[in-house]
A and B are shown apart, each in its own frame.
Chain A
Amino acid sequence: MRPRAVVVSLILLLGASRALGATEPSIPYQEFTLPNGLRVFLSEDHRAPQVTVNVWYHVGAANQRPGRSGFAHLFEHMMFSGSQHVPDPDKVLAAIGAGLGGAANGSTNFDRTNYFETVPASQLPTALWIESDRMGFLLPTLDEKKLATQRDVVSNERRQRYENQPYGRAALELCDTLYPKPHPYYHCVIGSVEEIQAASLEDIKAFFREFYAPRNATLAIVGDFDPKVARELVTRYFGDLPGGPEPKRPDVPQPRLDRVVEKTVPDPVARIPQLQMVWNGVKPFAPEEAAGDILSVVLGGSKTSRLYRRLVEEKQLASGVYAANASLGLGGYFQIVATVRDGHTVAELRNEVESVLDELRKNGPTASEVERAKRMVVGGMVRSVERASGKADQLNAYAFFTGDPGFLPKDVARYKAVTPAQVHEAVRTLLPPDRLLVMDIEPASAPAPGARP
C-alpha cells in the first residue's frame, strides 16, 4: 500500500486543485419587478416535472417589539390558517400532492420569514394563487380561535425543540445573554411561552400591515416552467396587490460583551455536561464573515480541526466539539460547543479550548489547514445547487443580503480569496479572550443514589 499511497497523494493535489477551478456553481435566472415593488426571480430547471415557489418576507425576530418574543414565528403559523379566498391552503396543497415530505412549509429566523411549496409543474397557478392570497388577503378571515390554537401549537413547538432537547435551554440562555431585553433577539426566534400566549389579534393585524406586502418580499420560482407563462401568472396574481409601506430595516445596535460572563445552565434533559463559549459575531456578508467561517472550520468543523484533534483525540476530554460562525442581521455570534466525555469536566474542556485558542492567536493557522477548510466550504457550495428548492431559497437569500440574487459565483470567490493571514486576524478580532460568554451546562437531576456511573 505504501508506494501507492505516495502516488495517490500526488493525484489528490492535482485533483483537488482542479476541483476548485472546474466546478463553479451558479444559478442561472432572470428577474423582473412588478410596479408594486415585488421582485421576482425565475430559474428554469427541467430535471423533474415540478416547480418550487419560494417567497421571502424581510421580517423576522429582528422586527419584534419588546414583550412579543416569538411573534414573527407565531405569525408565520397564521399564514397557514387560511386567507380570504383560500380558506384552507393545506388542504389545497394536499389535493395537488404537496402534503407530504416537507413539500410545503414555512420557516422563520432572526431576520427573515419564508414560505415555499413544491408542486407538479401544471399546478404552478395554484401555488401562486395561495401565496398571493395570503400576501394580500390574510386578515379578513383571521379570528381569535385560529390564533389561540396556534399560540398553543407554537408553545408546544418550544417545548419539543428547546425544553425537551438536550442543551435546548442553553440556546435560549445564549440569546438572552447576548441580546438582552429589549433587543428583539432575546428568547431567540421561538420566544417565551408567556409572550407567545400574550400575542393578540391586533398584534397580528398590525404586523401584517407593516411587513407583509410586495415591497417587502421577493418571489423565486425554480423548476419546469415556461418563463413567459410564469411571468404572466405572477403579474396576474400579484400585480394588483398594493405595494405596502416603504420597508424599514430594523436598526438596533448590537450589545457588546465587555467582560467574561460565566453562567451555569441546569438542564433536566441532558445527562452529560457541555461547555459553550460564545463571542459577539458579525452580520451576513460583513467583510470579516468569510474568514470567520473558515476559522470555524479550522477550529471545529472537521476531524482534522484543531479542537477536535486536541479535545476528542489527543486529550480525550470531549465526546464531540464544533465551532460555528453564526452571522445575523443585527449582529451574530461565534460559538464553540464541546460536550464532555464521561468522567471529565467542563472546567477541563475550557482549559484546553483556551490553550488551543492561545496557540492560534499566537501563530495563526497553517496554509494547508486554511486551504483544506476552503475546499470543504466551496465543495458544500457546489452541492448546494443540487436541489431545486435549495436554489429558490438561495436566490432569495442572496437578493435579501446582497441585492444580487446571482451572487453565488461571487460568494464562492469570496471564500476562495480568504488568506491564512485573514483567518489569523479573525481569531484576534472575533475571539477576544476577555469578552465572551461561557456556559457550563450541567445535568439538572443527578441519577438516583445507588445508580451505576
Chain B
Amino acid sequence: MSRGRRLSALALVLMALGCASSKPAQPPVSAVPAPPPDAWRNNQPPALAAVPPFRAPVPGQRSLPNRLGVLLRENHAVPVVVVELAIRTGVDGDPPDRAGLADFVAAVLDEGTKSRTNQELAEQLENLAANLSVSPGLDGIRLHLNCLSDTLEPALDLLADVALNPAFRPADVERVRGITLTGLQQRRGNPGALASDEVARLLYGSKHPWGQPAGGTTESVKSIRRQDLVRFHDTYFRPNNALLSVSGDFEPEKILALLAERFGAWRPKAVPPSRLPPFPKDGPRTVITVDMADSTQSQLALSTRTIPATSPDALALSTANVALGGLFTSRLNHQLREVRGWTYGMFSSVGFNKRTGVFQVRGSVVAQHTVDSLKDVEAEMKRYATGDITEDELQHAKEGILQSLPQALETNDAVASTFVTLTNIGRPLDWYATLPGRLGALERDEVARVSRAYLDPSKLPVVVVGPKKNLEGLAELQLGPVVDRTAEAKGLAARPAPPSAPAAR
C-alpha cells in the first residue's frame, strides 16, 4: 500500500468521525521547522486519467475441411507471423514401458522429412530467418513456427513438411538417442532437475507417464525403437487431434487458403482414447531427500495435486497462490529472502491442465539453513492456510494478475501458444478477455476458503535436494517420515538392465 493512499484514507476516516477538530491544538507555526523543499515527494503522486482497459485478444475460430481447427488473431505490430501446430497428445501418449517417447518424437521430428535431409531443412529455415521448435508437454506436442511475414509461404511449407512427413531416418534417430541419453545423465547431477523428477513421481505416481523422470530413463530411451516413433506419429498426428493457432501480420482469408493448401489433405483417423492409470491416493506425508554432498544450497519443493483448470475454484486458487508466493512481496519470498536472507527467491506456483492442477513451493536455500528454511516455509503456509489473507494482499494479487496480462500477451509467440494452452486445458478462448470481470467479483472469503482447502501444508510432501549433512534437526520438524532416495534419483541403484534392451538400432 502506498503512503499517499494510506494518508488520504486516514484523513477521510478522521473527517467522517469528526475527529479532526478534536486533535490537540497544533503548536505555533514558528516552532515547526520549515519543511524541506522536497516534502512534496513524500506522497505517491495521483494517477493520471485512466485509459481504456486492456482487452486480451480472442481469436477467430475457423476450420479446414478435414476438421482441423484454426485459431486466427491478426496483429500488424511487427512483420512477423507465428503459427503453432498443436498435437493434442504428448507424454500422456507414452506407453508404460516407453517413458520418454513423446520427447523422443519431438526431438527427431524436425531432423529431416521424406524429401529434405536434416541439413536441408535447417538450411532452408535459416535462409528464411524462420525459427521452428518442437516442444513436448504433458498433454501435447507443439510445433512452433515464427517467421517474417513476407516469407510466410515457404515457411509454412517447411512447417507442414515437418509435421506431416517426418522421415525418422535411423541415423537421425540414433544421433538424437545419444544426445538424449547424455542429457538424462546430466540431469542426474543437477539439483533442480532431480527435485523436479521427485516431485513428478510424488504427484502422479511411478505408474503414470507424467510421473516418470522428464525425458524418460536410460533404460526406456534405449528401448524405444524407430517403429515406436513412427507409430506415435501415425497415431496422434491427425487433424482431428490437432489445432492450428496463428497470431501476427497476415490477411485471414489468405492465410486460411495457404493453410488449406498445406494441411487440407491431412487425413483424419480416430485417435485411441487415452488409458491413463489413476493418480495415486494421498498417503501419509513424507519427506524425500536426495544427497548432494558438494552443493552449497538445498533445493526445496513442497507440492500437491489440486484441481483441473475447469474447476470453479481455479481462479480463486490462482489468486491465493499469488498472495502466498507469486509476487516479490508475497509472504514466502518476503520471509525467506528479505527477512532471513537465506535464499535468492522462494516462490509458489499453480498450474492447471485438463485432468488436475499442481501447486508447488520451490526455492533454493543456503545449505546450512535448510531445516530452518523448511520450518519457516511450514509456518508461513500453516498461517496462510487458516485463510488469513488480508484485503491488501488480495488487492495486490488481483492487480498483479490483471496488469501482467498485457505483457504476458504482448508477443505473437505468447498469444499463439496461449490459445493452444486454453484449448488443451479446457478453458474458453475468451478466458483472459473476461478475466477482469471475474477477478473483480472474487471475494476475500472465497480466496480464504480455497487456501484452507488446498494449501494446508500438512498434506504436502516435501522434497529436499542438498547436502545430507545439513539435514540435522529435520526429524524434529515432524513433517513426516524421511525417505532417502539418493541412489534411485541419481541412477546409482543397481537395477538390472532389461534383457531385451537393444543397444542401438
Contacts and interface: CB of A to CB of B under 8 A. Distances in A.
B341 A148 contact: yes
B77 interface: yes
A316 B178 CA distance: 9
B245 interface: no
B61 interface: no
B237 interface: no
Contacts of A367: none
Contact of B189 (A47, A128, A271): A271
Interface in B83-119: 114-116, 118-119
A341 B295 CA distance: 24
A12 interface: yes
Given A99-B400, A452-B491, A452-B497, A125 B45 contact: yes
Interface stretch (A59-67, A149-157, A350-358, A431-439): A149-157
B315 to A, nearest CB: 15
Contacts of A159: 296-297, 344, 364, 366
Given A8-B154, A11-B154, A387-B410, A126 B186 contact: no
B127 interface: yes
A287 interface: no
A149 B333 CA distance: 13
A99 B51 contact: no
Interface stretch (B13-21, B36-44, B442-450): B36-44
B296 A164 contact: yes
A129 B129 contact: no
B364 A123 contact: no
A290 interface: no
Nearest to B80: A383
Contacts of A101: 400, 404, 407-408
B404 A304 contact: no
Interface in B387-429: 392, 395-396, 399-404, 406-408, 410-412
Interface in A234-275: 240, 268-272
Interface in B152-167: 153-154, 157, 161, 165
Interface in A364-389: 371-372, 375-376, 378-380, 382-383, 385-389
Given A100-B400, A166-B190, A372-B126, A18 B150 contact: yes
| Highest count of chain A CB atoms <10 Å: which of B52, B400, B402 | B400
A103 interface: yes
Interface in A132-166: 132-133, 137, 148-157, 159-161, 163-166
B54 A49 contact: yes
A22 B149 CA distance: 10
A124 interface: yes
A151 B340 CA distance: 11
Contacts of B402: 97
Contacts of B337: 153
B341 A137 contact: no
B129 A379 contact: yes
Contacts of B296: 159, 163-164
B182 A12 contact: no
Contacts of A206: none
Interface stretch (B24-32, B304-312, B324-332): B324-332
Contacts of B149: 23
Contacts, number: 303
Interface string A64-95: 00000000000000000000111100111011
By CB atoms of chain B within 10 A, which of A90, A137, A160 has the most?
A160
B300 to A, nearest CB: 12
Contacts of A120: 47, 50, 403
B353 interface: no
Contacts of B119: 303-304, 309, 313
Contacts of B499: none
B270 interface: no
Contact of A153 (B191, B341, B395, B401): B341
Nearest to B131: A379
Contacts of A118: 407
B406 A49 contact: yes
Interface in A1-38: 1-2, 4-5, 8-9, 11-13, 15-16, 18-19, 22-23, 25
A445 interface: yes
B122 A386 contact: no
Contact of A269 (B295, B343, B399, B400): B295
Interface string A416-431: 0000000000000000
Contacts of A152: 340-342, 366
Contact of B364 (A11, A137, A164): A164
A107 interface: no
A430 B165 CA distance: 42
B218 interface: yes
A284 interface: no
B494 interface: yes
B293 A445 contact: yes
B188 A271 contact: yes
Contact of B44 (A92, A98, A448): A92
B503 interface: no
A227 interface: no
A102 B494 CA distance: 44
Given A99-B329, A160-B297, A372-B123, A126 B154 contact: no
B77 A47 contact: yes
Q: Which of B115, B119, B122, B192 has the most CB of A within 10 A?
A: B122
A303 B310 CA distance: 41
Contacts of A86: 3
A155 B54 CA distance: 39
B467 to A, nearest CB: 11
A50 interface: yes
Contact of B403 (A91, A100, A148): A100
B288 interface: no
Given A15-B151, A268-B294, A386 B129 contact: no
A97 B127 contact: no
A447 B296 CA distance: 19
Nearest to A11: B154
A96 B182 contact: no
A382 B47 contact: no
Contact of B400 (A5, A94, A165, A447): A94
A282 to B, nearest CB: 25
A419 to B, nearest CB: 18
A326 interface: no
A11 B153 contact: yes
A95 B6 CA distance: 12
Contacts of B150: 15, 18-19, 22-23
Among B53, B148, B396, B411, max chain A CB count under 10 A is at: B148
Contact of A48 (B54, B79, B122, B395): B54
B301 interface: no
Given A100-B326, A160-B364, 10 more contacts: A11-B154, A49-B53, A132-B41, A152-B342, A159-B366, A271-B190, A320-B179, A372-B123, A372-B127, A450-B492
